[in-house]
Amino acid sequence: MTCVSPEATRRPGDPAARASRVRRPPGGRVAHTETMDSPDPPGISRRFPARADSAAAARRFVRDAVDGAAAGVGPAARDVAELLAGELVTNAVLHARGECEVRVRTAGGTVDVRVLDDRPDRPVVPWYGHPYAATGWGWTLVERLASRHGVTTDGDRKAVWFELRPEDAPPAPPGSFLPEPRDCPAGNVTLVDLPCALYSASQQHRHALLRELLLAPSAGARLGVRPADLATAHDISALISGRVTQALRAHPSGADMVTVGVSLPPEAMKAVPVLRRVLVRAERAARQELLLSRPSLPQMRAFRDWLFEEITRQLAGEEPTAWTLVPREPSARPSELTPWDTRQVEDSRVPTIAADDANQIIAANRAAADLLGWHADELLGQRITALVPEHLRERHLAAFTSLLLTGEPRILGRSVPLPALHRDGGLLPVRLFIQTQEAADGRTVFVAQLIPRASAPAASPDTAGSGRREPGEEPDEPRPEPAADREAARTEAPGHTAGPRPAAGGARTASAGPGREDAHLTALEGLSLLADTRSALAGTPDLDALVRRVCEVLAGQLADWCVVDLLDEHEQVDRVCVVHHDTEALPPEAYEGRLPPVSEAGRGPLPRVLRGAGPLLLTEIPPPDQATSALDARQLDLFEQLGARSAVVAPLRARREVLGALTVARIGGQRPFTDEDLPLVSDVAAALALGVDNARLYQETLSIAERLQRSLLPALPDTGHLQLAARYAPSSASAQVGGDWYDAFVVPGGDTVLVIGDVTGHDLKAAVAMSALRNMLRGIAVDRQEPPGDVLRRLDLASHTLYRHATATCIYGLVKDDPASGSQTLHYSLAGHLPPLLATREGDTRFLDAAAGLLIGLDPEMPRPTAHAELPPDSTLLLYTDGLIERRGEHLDDAMTRLRRHAAALAREPLHVFCDELLIGLAADSTDDVAVLAVRSTPPS
């Protein structure tokens, strides 16, 4: 890395080298850059080698020099000088990697310290750490504690200096800060949609790894990194950090995502691959616990790869690719691209809990607390294990520890069915979805959503076993399918564009609508807006996502900002979405949420529209103090806060009912809305209302169907000779209702019936057909008590008569006791269903497939066979539906082999552990419903 500093290419005395610009660093202190063509201030000096212990030796030297000067320097200034000198010498050792000289001068209570090295081509590159960063504070300390500081260079040497002045001394003269980017050839790199929080966390982690690699040899560690590669990696890492940090300063603090341009030398094309190789070696050492730093988590690795790829690709002349458009696995993507904030949990309507890397709960919303039987504030500070059933705690701790030590996730970004522990000790079936987010201060936060699911009535955990398993026995988990399709669907929604785009708040093109001051939207533009609105409505059945997508379209093409307010079933008003075209100008959490009720006193536009008026055009917006009701006041306050010049408030009507209101507004400088805009806004509102109504009907259908399915799941019988356990998990990718079912009951003769089946379909119709088949099968089994093959033939005949177009798979089993031997025998018949799996206590497994027949509903006259199999003592019989094992693109034989391996590993576990571990290991992200019925034979006492 040679072409770095402009001063390195200038002659001493060159006027360009003397030019200065004023900059105020943090704290208001002045930094100064000058050339070294004038004599250095007199004082004492000492040279130090490029060794790790030079920083401590330099601190002692500065302390002794200040103490011996007797120039009225107080002890506080002496301590600060000692501290800052150590930081600057550390930087010289790390970056210049050569001998350095420390000069100290005191006069009139002022202390001047300079650290000189022979590498002017390596300028100081500041980057600023976070409260949780362990390194990188040197230059920040200098900026905050020194009266003045800066860098001086000539052709041969560089000096980094600071000055401490008495408080009563006159102000320091203004100067200039660090050298501007080089004027030698360089390449421009545009980082599109750079996530600020994730970048900061990644930078912090990268520097921590490199710092440890530099210090490892002094501790005797040999990590296999060549010194030359480590030096190159350290240099290019510091340069990237400094340039990006300087670019970020041009954006408002607190921005979530920005687009920045940085200038990097051509040598970066060769240096960045070296940095990547060094970091891969460092990650490997971290996973082997040879470093104090932990390996990076998936989203940090994905971001780092994108950052380095963008630098090398763009320096090679390729076009930039936005971070938001890079497809990644679910576990490598935060749930949101904004920095994590506790309000995201508190405002969520989904039961959500957040924990830190110490496994401690740091945020929980009311929905999660109500679900688990707690108050939200009672959960704060507790270990997350307080919500994990006892038989899964050891597994949780092992998985969490493994994640932190290896960086490899098992369930991050995946929907996993498992039980949560209610406060009263009961087990609550949920789907757990965990993702990581980066906080603005550099922390990683684990955010978990707990979505209730239908299941069998919870039973008390079996206390006979602890769920303990040796590490080698832990079952492998299937890799999640690539999320490229989901990612593409999300990023191709209206409002997202491929390639680079200006930062938020930048200029918009004439086609953007609000920027057109000379004409209304043309007919073609209006049709395009309606088409984009309908495309956004077709993207998802989720109400919140649907509304936000439409608002993003409107805020980009029709207005500067828009709002959607919806009425609930109790006529309460919820502000569900506020979107501004400038994402940095609007914190949505400040405006979204519950609004005051619609009262008769309200005379403003929003109460009128919610009662059926409109659309209403507002060209003169009164101040909030003229509001006639609390709801009017909230609306007028919003107009004032966001600077509305004109607005249209339109009702959302569907099925002759008002569902809510749409508000679109334009700010000063844009053409105001007129009467000619009302038809277009009305059409958009009508399309949005239809989408809202459909989404609500869909959610209502789901709710009814799920309640129906919960009511159909039976309570398992208590038999003295068998242990039974069951689990049901709806699809994680579709409606939470389907045709899978299980059943178990005792017939009058004392035998135990075992049933599992799957009606074709994943909707309410399938659930209704399933309930009918289940009830018919129960009646036939109790009435006839015939062999399983005959029972299934009678069920087929009844189904063909009453539900001619329904097809289903089914297993009917009958467990009989032999009083003489004390053994148990399963008599069974299969109707197109996957065969049961029998696992002995020793781990031997086999599928029972001797009585296979056609599906229910194909040919009711076809005879059905019956087979039997002995159940050895302590063996486990598993009945399951295809959602447990089948995966797209995978051969069924491979899936069944994986099931046998899991069942063998769990054969000695308590039965409830057996079921839960199967769901965790096999049913994560299943796109089908899953039903499991497990039976364990118990030997006679």
Task: With a cut of 60, say whether residue 381 has pLDDT above it.
Answer: yes
Q: Which residue among 398, 429, 461 closes a domain?
A: 461
% of the chain at pLDDT higher than 70? 76
Q: Which residue among 328, 356, 382 closes a domain?
A: 328
DSSP, res 466: -
Q: Stretch 691-712: mean pLDDT, rounded?
A: 75
Q: Is residue 153 a part of any domain in this protein?
A: yes
Q: Which two tokens stand for residue 566?
A: 């919806």
Angle, helices 196-215 vs 227-248, to 10°: value is 150
Pairing status of strand 930-937 against strand 722-729: antiparallel
Q: How do residues 754-766 score in pLDDT, each as one tens digit?
A: 999 998 876 667 7
Shared domain for 147 and 39, answered yes or no, is: yes
Comparison of pLDDT for 484 and 168, the residue scoring more: 168
Which residue pairs, CB below 8 angstroms and at least 24 apart, start in 674-679? 674/520, 674/617, 675/617, 676/520, 677/520, 677/521, 677/617, 677/648, 678/615, 678/617, 678/648
Segment of 79-93, 324-338, 829-843 carrying the highest mean pLDDT: 829-843
Can you tell me the distance from the alpha carbon of 112 to that of 628, in angstroms, rounded to the nearest whole number?
66
Confidence of residue 487 (pLDDT cuts 50, 70, 90): very low
Confidence of residue 740 (pLDDT cuts 50, 70, 90): confident
Task: With a cut of 70, say whether residue 907 has pLDDT above it.
Answer: yes
DSSP, res 720: S
Sign of the torsion angle spanned by Cα atoms 106, 111, 115, 116:
negative
Can you tell me the distance from the alpha carbon of 198 to that of 870, in angstroms, rounded to the nearest whole number?
58
Can you tell me the distance from the alpha carbon of 613 to that of 593, in angstroms, rounded to the nearest whole number?
23
Q: Is residue 587 a part of any domain in this protein?
A: yes
Q: Is 175:30 a contact under the CB 8 Å cutoff? A: yes
Q: Stretch 4-15: mean pLDDT, rounded?
A: 33
Q: Is 851:867 a contact under the CB 8 Å cutoff? A: yes
**Which whole-number Å values give the CA distances from 233 to 120, 221, 240, in the listed order?**
19, 19, 11
Comparison of pLDDT for 514 and 410, the residue scoring more: 410
Shared domain for 264 and 122, answered yes or no, is: no
Segment of 127-136, 412-421, 826-835 carrying the highest mean pLDDT: 826-835
Q: How do residues 648-674 score in pLDDT, each as one tens digit?
A: 999 898 876 889 999 999 887 778 888
Q: How do residues 923-937 score in pLDDT, each as one tens digit?
A: 877 778 889 999 998
Shared domain for 158 and 29, answered yes or no, is: yes
pLDDT of residue 435: 81
Which residue, 735, 759, 723, 739, is CA-closest to 856?
759
Q: Which residue among 328, 354, 384 closes a domain?
A: 328
Can you tell me the distance from the alpha carbon of 201 to that of 423, in angstroms, rounded to the nearest whole number?
35
| Alpha helices (runs of H) in 216-297, residue ranges in sequence order | 227-248, 268-287
pLDDT of residue 178: 42
Shared domain for 684 and 758, answered yes or no, is: no
CA 370 to chain centre: 24
| CATH number for the domain harbouring residue 664 | 3.30.450.40
Helix (H) or strand (E) holding 745: strand 740-746
Sign of the torsion angle spanned by Cα atoms 220, 226, 230, 233:
negative
Q: Stretch 495-499: mean pLDDT, rounded?
A: 35
Q: Is residue 921 a part of any domain in this protein?
A: yes
Which residue, 756, 685, 691, is CA-closest to 930?
756
Pairing status of strand 740-746 against strand 752-759: antiparallel
Q: What are phi and psi of 687, to 5 degrees?
A: -65, -40
Helix (H) or strand (E) holding 236: helix 227-248
Which residue, 201, 275, 203, is CA-closest to 234?
275
pLDDT of residue 763: 66
Beta bridge partners of 450: 432
Q: Which two tokens stand for residue 237?
A: 């890492």
Domain count, the chain: 5
| Alpha helices (runs of H) in 611-677, residue ranges in sequence order | 630-642
Confidence of residue 172 (pLDDT cuts 50, 70, 90): low
Shared domain for 401 and 440, answered yes or no, is: yes
* 29: number of Cβ within 10 Å: 19
Shared domain for 594 and 446, answered yes or no, is: no
Q: Stretch 163-188: mean pLDDT, rounded?
A: 57
Q: Stretch 60-81: mean pLDDT, rounded?
A: 82
Angle, helices 298-315 vs 268-287, to 10°: value is 160
pLDDT of residue 37: 39
Task: With a cut of 80, say whether residue 919 has pLDDT above it.
Answer: yes
Which residue, 171, 169, 167, 163, is CA-closest to 66?
163
Task: With a cut of 80, say whether residue 405 has pLDDT above it.
Answer: no
Q: Is residue 850 a part of any domain in this protein?
A: yes
Can you tell me the distance from the alpha carbon of 105 to that of 469, in angstroms, rounded to the nearest whole number?
67
Task: With a cut of 90, say whether residue 890 has pLDDT above it.
Answer: no
Task: With a cut of 50, say whether residue 21 has pLDDT above it.
Answer: no
Task: With a cut of 80, say whether residue 127 has pLDDT above it.
Answer: no
Q: Is 874:464 a contact under the CB 8 Å cutoff? A: no
Which residue, 384, 378, 335, 388, is CA-closest to 356?
384
Can you tell me the distance from the alpha carbon of 558 to that of 664, in angstroms, rounded to the nearest whole number?
8
pLDDT of residue 255: 59
Half-sphere exposure of 302 (CA within 13 A, CB side): 20
Q: Is residue 180 a part of any domain in this protein?
A: no
Q: Stretch 194-198: mean pLDDT, rounded?
A: 83
Confidence of residue 9 (pLDDT cuts 50, 70, 90): very low
Beta bridge partners of 674: none
Mean pLDDT computed over every residue of the chain = 77
Can you tell me the distance from the alpha carbon of 769 to that of 215, in angstroms, rounded to the nearest whole number?
68
| CATH number for the domain harbouring residue 888 | 3.60.40.10
Q: Stretch 795-813: mean pLDDT, rounded?
A: 87
Lowest mean pLDDT among 426-440, 757-771, 789-803: 757-771
In sequence order, what DSSP letters do the residues of 39-96 get, joined into one string? PPPP-EEEEE-SSTTHHHHHHHHHHHHHHHH-SS--HHHHHHHHHHHHHHHHHIIIII
Q: Stretch 372-389: mean pLDDT, rounded?
A: 89
Shared domain for 675 and 739, answered yes or no, is: no
Task: With a cut of 70, say whether residue 626 has pLDDT above it.
Answer: yes
Confidence of residue 176 (pLDDT cuts 50, 70, 90): very low
pLDDT of residue 57: 92
Q: Stretch 219-233: mean pLDDT, rounded?
A: 79
Comparison of pLDDT for 505 and 813, the residue scoring more: 813
Shared domain for 672 and 772, answered yes or no, is: no
Segment of 318-322, 649-653, 844-848 carrying the highest mean pLDDT: 844-848
Confidence of residue 235 (pLDDT cuts 50, 70, 90): confident
Confidence of residue 747 (pLDDT cuts 50, 70, 90): very high
Comparison of pLDDT for 446 and 603, the residue scoring more: 446
Comparison of pLDDT for 940 and 414, the residue scoring more: 414
3-state secondary structure of 680: helix
* 596: number of Cβ within 10 Å: 16
Task: With a cut of 70, say whether residue 792 has pLDDT above it.
Answer: yes
**For residue 217, which amino acid is it?**
P
| CATH number for the domain harbouring residue 407 | 3.30.450.20
Lowest mean pLDDT among 61-70, 483-492, 897-906: 483-492
| Alpha helices (runs of H) in 624-677, residue ranges in sequence order | 630-642
DSSP, res 29: P
pTM over 0.85: no
pLDDT of residue 32: 39
pLDDT of residue 460: 38
Shared domain for 255 and 363, answered yes or no, is: no
Lowest mean pLDDT among 147-151, 478-482, 564-568, 789-793: 478-482
Shared domain for 320 and 348, answered yes or no, is: no
Confidence of residue 469 (pLDDT cuts 50, 70, 90): very low
3-state secondary structure of 357: coil
Which residue, 920, 452, 930, 878, is CA-closest to 729?
930
Q: Is residue 629 a part of any domain in this protein?
A: yes
Q: Please report, in angstroms and rounded to a whole number, the separation of the first and last CA atoms in the chain.
A: 79
- Domain extent for 885: 713-937
Q: Is residue 486 a part of any domain in this protein?
A: no
Q: Is 815:745 a contact under the CB 8 Å cutoff? A: no
Q: How do residues 524-560 score in pLDDT, each as one tens digit?
A: 777 777 777 777 777 667 788 888 888 888 887 888 8
pLDDT of residue 179: 42
Can you tell me the distance from the alpha carbon of 547 to that of 564, in angstroms, rounded to the nearest whole number?
7
Q: How do residues 258-309 score in pLDDT, each as one tens digit?
A: 788 999 988 899 999 999 999 999 988 888 888 888 888 888 888 899 999 9
% of the chain at pLDDT higher than 90? 22
Mind spelling out the 3-state secondary structure of 119-181? CCCCCCCCCCCCCCCCCCCHHHHHHHHCCEEEEEECCCCEEEEEEECCCCCCCCCCCCCCCCC
Q: How do residues 324-368 score in pLDDT, each as one tens digit?
A: 666 666 565 554 455 677 776 876 667 889 998 888 999 998 888
Confidence of residue 154 (pLDDT cuts 50, 70, 90): confident
**Bond prior to 615 in cis (omega within 30° of 0):** yes
pLDDT of residue 477: 38
Q: Is residue 333 a part of any domain in this protein?
A: no
pLDDT of residue 13: 35
Confidence of residue 803 (pLDDT cuts 50, 70, 90): confident
pLDDT of residue 329: 64
Shared domain for 323 and 349, answered yes or no, is: no
Confidence of residue 706 (pLDDT cuts 50, 70, 90): low
Shared domain for 879 and 741, answered yes or no, is: yes
pLDDT of residue 521: 67
Can you tell me the distance from the alpha carbon of 865 to that of 149, in angstroms, rounded to the nearest whole number?
91
Beta bridge partners of 153: 35, 158
pLDDT of residue 736: 55
